[in-house]
Amino acid sequence: MSELESITTNRAFGGVQGVYRHQSEATGTPMTFSVFVPEHETGTTLPVLWYLSGLTCTHANVTDKGEYRRACADAGIIFIAPDTSPRGEGVADDDAYDFGQGAGFYVDATEEPWAPHFRMRSYIEDELPALIAAEFPVDMTRQGITGHSMGGHGALTIGLRNAGRFKSISAFAPIVSPLDCPWGEKALGGYLGDDDRSEWRSYDACALIADGARVPELLVDQGDADQFLAEQLKPELLRDACDAAGIDLTLRLQPGYDHSYYFVSTFMADHVRWHAQRLV
Amino acid sequence: MSELESITTNRAFGGVQGVYRHQSEATGTPMTFSVFVPEHETGTTLPVLWYLSGLTCTHANVTDKGEYRRACADAGIIFIAPDTSPRGEGVADDDAYDFGQGAGFYVDATEEPWAPHFRMRSYIEDELPALIAAEFPVDMTRQGITGHSMGGHGALTIGLRNAGRFKSISAFAPIVSPLDCPWGEKALGGYLGDDDRSEWRSYDACALIADGARVPELLVDQGDADQFLAEQLKPELLRDACDAAGIDLTLRLQPGYDHSYYFVSTFMADHVRWHAQRLV
């Protein structure tokens, strides 16, 4: 277990908002993440809500703009926000905003030059949960997961691949099918290679469902003024996949909302409460 | 009246969070500010809460991190966040974080090289309210004012100098007496000159009260782990001034809270509701 370094801790909404760093074995880099721990009795443990961020983001975007702390404090839920990729001078990168650092897509890359560090699936699924379990007052039998855009893709795919682990899965404006949108084709093609697209299917929420992954229900909010809605996000594909599989999808098209944190923060408390009903 | 340029507008919490720019006559520069307008019936007007920001801030800090939109949407209050100084290449500046651009201290400077542009008192008291009244669905008979740190100083002094205009005045960790702290001595000395400190008294909440300014009540929240508490903020001076003047000050020392937006956002909804009780 790598050593956990506390970068900042601030009292907020009765609890503590911390930012931490550790040396990741999965990515081979230092990784930074934030954790909000509500006020609680010493010795007790709290359920966990994971939040995976979107393209270009670090842990800081949702920590600054997500407006989750009041709802988490009210519900007694720990909120964890990881980074979206490995970073640093020795790490491969790309000039585009939608590939390379800040755009890890929650996959374990197999293609060069990405394979050595871009192992965000292993980091989020395995390494970081073990660190969280060891270092924070969490009840790991009560975990939920959510995320925004690329992070919504991450939440849906990680949730579907680990259905027993997560009692609740939601997303804000998720990329529901990387197999069927330009962001996904670029990222999965780059990180996994284009030779055998069947390998992409474990990184596609709709394909996972078509291939048999089952959860009882999903909650998705999507702004209808989102500039990426038609070309990249395509929530109707998730609706069709859930309909065919008998998964109870609550898909809410929110009138006038775009892709920004103004959208995410507006519906954040709803999502926290929805998870809390299933976790607390 | 200068022309109002809309920089961004985003749907948030049922309303519209906008960022706007105009050419200020007071400062002789372009000035940027943000306005949140809750959902409301066309043709109706809403009360206004002014929020003045602290050292180093622009409109963006509270707009991103202040967590005011839900409370303002619930209460039906318009929230206005101006910048903290004139900015730009032709504007005097200083390398320090607590003087020059980003540190206007809500004064009309009389000393060179600040006098030509650093006219934040006139900008906040006169020019911007006229623009807001002309361009937004505001009821200017129902205004409240608040702010953080240097902006708490701004809210208290502007509120006390214009007691008839503001029905409610609050502050987060305000500088209560620039006459009696290093930040204030540096700023007022630099902007107003050191020859006659009696000119500083209209920019000092405690001095204004001692000199006869009266309001029925004030609300101040202050973190007791604030690194600036003892040397710069000194809320006990405001308590003494209010006690002597018969002003009903609610001064809440919040245990464990520091000077950051984690503190401000934690108590923002309380302040919005407190203002709403006096405005709506």
Cis peptide before A113 (omega within 30 of 0): yes
A265/B11 Cβ within 8 A: no
Pull the structure tokens for residue B168.
């409610």
Residue A264: closest CA among chain B residues belongs to which residue? B12
Pairs from B60-63 (Cβ < 8 Å, separation ≥ 24): B60/B19, B60/B34, B61/B261, B62/B34, B62/B148, B62/B261, B62/B264, B63/B17, B63/B19, B63/B34
Closest by alpha carbon to A220, among A261, A259, A174?
A174
- Span A52-72, pLDDT tens digits: 999 999 999 999 999 999 999
Is residue A60 within 8 angstroms of chain B, CB to CB? Answer: no
- Span A202-211, pLDDT tens digits: 999 999 999 9
Q: If chain B, 280 residues long, is cut into consecutive pieces of 10 residues, what is the mean pLDDT of each piece?
A: 89 98 98 98 97 98 98 98 96 96 98 98 98 98 98 98 97 98 98 94 98 98 98 98 98 98 98 97
**Domains (range + CATH), chain A:** 41-57+90-277 (3.40.50.1820)
Which of B10, B263, B266 is opposite residue A258, by nearest beta carbon?
B10
pTM of the model: 0.97
Active site residues of B: 149, 226, 259
Is A93 annotated as catalytic? no
Which of A10, A64, A266 is opposite residue B13, by nearest beta carbon?
A266
Chain B closest CA to A12's CA: distance in Å? Answer: 5
- Compute φ and ψ for A204, nearest 5 degrees: -140, 115
A64/B64 Cβ within 8 A: yes
What separation in angstroms does the CA of A19 have from each of A37, A198, B72? 11, 37, 29
Task: Work out the average pLDDT over A243-253.
Answer: 98
Is residue A257 within 8 angstroms of chain B, CB to CB? Answer: yes
**How many CB pairs (< 8 A) connect A and B?**
56
Give the bridge partners for A221, in sequence order: A172, A252
User: Residues 186-245, chain B: which have Cβ within 8 Å of A?
Assistant: 223, 225
- Span A159-204, pLDDT tens digits: 999 999 999 999 999 999 999 999 999 999 999 999 999 999 999 9
Chain B closest CA to A25's CA: distance in Å? Answer: 32
- Span A76-132, pLDDT tens digits: 999 999 999 999 999 999 999 999 999 999 999 999 999 999 999 999 999 999 999
The amino acid present at B50, given as its one-letter code, is W
Task: Work out the average pLDDT over A1-26.
Answer: 95
Within 8 A of A13 by CB-CB distance, chain B residues are 265-266
